[in-house]
């Protein structure tokens, strides 16, 4: 009887220890799942599924099989602050916003300019960049300014703010699905000009323009660029905004600007993120 009683006490102690361990483990798993984004309405706990482009350097592109560029490196840093693993998927810009709001992606990363029309489809994070409209053409076209585009064959990527600009100016633009197609039209002589995001247009002209394509002019855009999230997911948007401020404050944003846009001056009235975080201005 004494042996049985001692055995029963041992079982009770072991059971208590096991239960306590299970409770600790359970609490640990809950903490990890929360830190991994399970409470952020993500498609998969712990993973931030990001829709982006493959052909728009220096902003968003694929190099050596890896998604990179200013926007994608920035959202990777944001994801790290949230203890999330970024998972990038290539798509066309014309479909990106509807795909984000339809639940195919948790977030869209593609130098997306915030507009009132786009706010009807998705919600936006705080702005993290500014941009310019670019005018790409050929060395022999004679086109040097935007006011010379009337009557010309102008190409744009469908659904972009450059598409909006050309439409508003009644230029009757030719719409293509991606930036490589736009550049290809200039090189083939089937378009006179491409209204581009200036940074992308300038880099592609130098690297892929075959010596014939140039960036002839650019204009500063009024609206900031931001990450797109579904209109129904305020928790993710708020978490991204908080993490974005953190990567601005710790110098990551400045480092990436200097890496991808060396020498580019930041407009005096532009403040990244919430606007309340102190940051070091990139070296111009």
Mean pLDDT for the chain? 89
The mean per-residue pLDDT over the stretch 199-216 comes to: 96
Count CB neighbours of 55 within 10 A.
18
Same domain (yes/no): 139, 156: yes
CATH of the domain at 93: 3.40.190.10
In a domain, 270, yes or no: no
d(CA 104, CA 95): 11
Give the three-state DSSP class for 124: strand
- Average pLDDT, stretch 95-101? 97
Same domain, 94 and 54: yes
Contact 207, 66 (CB under 8 A): no
268 is a domain residue: no
Query: Are 203 and 146 in a shared domain?
Result: yes
CB 68, CB 188: distance < 8 Å:
no
**Which of 5-9, 50-54, 164-168, 276-280 has the least mean pLDDT?**
5-9
Same domain membership, residue 122 and residue 43: yes
Q: How many CB atoms lie within 10 A of CB 64?
A: 5
Look up residue 82 and give its two tokens: 């949230």
Q: Are 95 and 152 found together in one domain?
A: no
283 is a domain residue? no
pLDDT band of 8, cuts 50, 70, 90: very low
Q: Are residues 78 and 207 in the same domain?
A: no
Q: How far is Cα 269 from Cα 40, in angstroms, rounded to an integer?
A: 32
Please check whether residues 158 and 79 belong to one and the same domain: no
Same domain, 23 and 136: no
Evaluate whether 229 touches 123 at the Cβ level (below 8 Å). yes
Report the candidate in 43, 191, 203, 194 with the shortest Cα–Cα distance to residue 133: 194
> Does 150 have pLDDT greater than 70?
yes
Q: Which residues make Cβ contacts (< 8 Å) with residue 98, sequence separation at least 6?
A: 121
Question: What is the 3 state secondary structure string of 133-188?
Answer: EEEEEECCCCCCCHHHCCCCCEEEECCCHHHHHHHHCCCCCEEECCHHHHHHHHHH
Region 238-261: mean pLDDT is 97
Nearest to 230 by CA among 78, 125, 106: 106
pLDDT in tens, 224-245: 999 999 999 999 999 999 999 9
For residue 182, is it within any domain? yes
The pLDDT value recorded for residue 222 is: 81
Structure confidence by residue, pLDDT tens digits, 34-82 = 344 458 999 999 999 999 999 999 999 999 999 999 999 999 999 999 9
- Are residue 241 and residue 213 in the same domain, yes or no? no
pLDDT of residue 268: 87
| Interatomic CA distance for residues 228 and 254, integer angstroms | 21
Q: Which of 167, 189, 220 is the last residue of a domain?
A: 220
Bridge partner list, 49: 87
- For the cut 60, the answer to whether the pLDDT of residue 9 exceeds it is no
Q: Are residues 103 and 239 in the same domain?
A: yes
Number of domains in the chain: 3
| Residue 3 in this model has a pLDDT that exceeds 50 | no
Peptide bond into 58 cis (omega under 30): yes
- Distance CA(283)–CA(220), nearest Å, equals 19
* 11 phi-psi bin (left φ>0, alpha ψ -120 to 50, beta other): alpha
15's tokens: 């059971």
**pLDDT band, residue 221 (cuts 50/70/90):** confident
CB 160 within 8 A of CB 131: no
What does the pLDDT read at residue 284? Answer: 73
* Predicted TM-score (pTM) of this structure: 0.79
Question: Does 281 map to a domain?
Answer: no
Find the range with the poorest average confidence among 19-28, 86-95, 168-177: 19-28
Residues 146, 215 within the same domain: yes
Between 32 and 211, residue with greater pLDDT: 211
Inside any domain, residue 255: yes
At 111, give phi and psi (nearest 5°): 45, 50
The tokens for 241 are: 């905004």
Task: Tell me the mean pLDDT in the region 95-104.
Answer: 97
**Whether residue 104 is found in the same domain as residue 231:** yes
Distance between CA atoms of residues 213 and 190, nearest Å: 13
Asked if residue 250 has pLDDT above 50, the reply is yes
Asked whether residue 253 is assigned to any structural domain, the reply reads yes
**pLDDT value for 212:** 96
Q: Structure tokens of 209?
A: 């323009």
Do the domain assignments include residue 282?
A: no
Range of the domain at 256: 39-130+224-260
């Amino acid at each position: 009887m004494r042996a049985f009683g001692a055995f029963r006490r041992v079982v009770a102690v072991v059971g208590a220890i096991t239960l306590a361990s299970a409770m600790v483990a359970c609490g640990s798993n809950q903490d990890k799942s929360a830190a991994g984004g399970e409470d952020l309405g993500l498609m998969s706990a712990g993973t931030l599924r990001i829709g982006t482009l493959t052909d728009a350097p220096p902003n968003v592109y694929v190099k050596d099989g890896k998604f990179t560029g200013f926007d994608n490196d920035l959202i990777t840093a944001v994801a790290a602050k949230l203890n999330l693993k970024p998972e990038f998927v290539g798509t066309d810009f014309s479909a990106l916003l509807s795909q984000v709001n339809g639940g195919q992606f948790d977030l869209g990363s593609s130098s997306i300019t915030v507009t009132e029309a786009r706010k009807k489809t998705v919600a936006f994070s705080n702005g993290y960049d500014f941009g310019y409209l670019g005018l790409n053409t050929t060395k022999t076209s004679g086109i040097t300014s935007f006011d010379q585009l009337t009557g010309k064959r102008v190409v744009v990527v469908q659904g972009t703010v450059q598409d909006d600009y050309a439409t508003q100016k009644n230029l009757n633009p030719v719409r293509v699905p991606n930036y490589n197609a736009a550049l290809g039209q200039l090189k083939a002589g089937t378009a006179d000009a491409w209204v581009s995001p200036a940074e992308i247009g300038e880099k592609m002209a130098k690297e892929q323009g075959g010596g014939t394509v140039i960036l002839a002019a650019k204009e500063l855009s009024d609206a900031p660029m931001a990450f797109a999230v579904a209109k129904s997911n305020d928790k993710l948007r708020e978490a991204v905004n908080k993490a974005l401020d953190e990567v601005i404050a710790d110098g990551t944003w400045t480092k990436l600007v200097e890496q991808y846009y060396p020498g580019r001056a930041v407009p005096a009235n532009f403040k990244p993120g919430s606007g309340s975080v102190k940051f070091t201005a990139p070296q111009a």
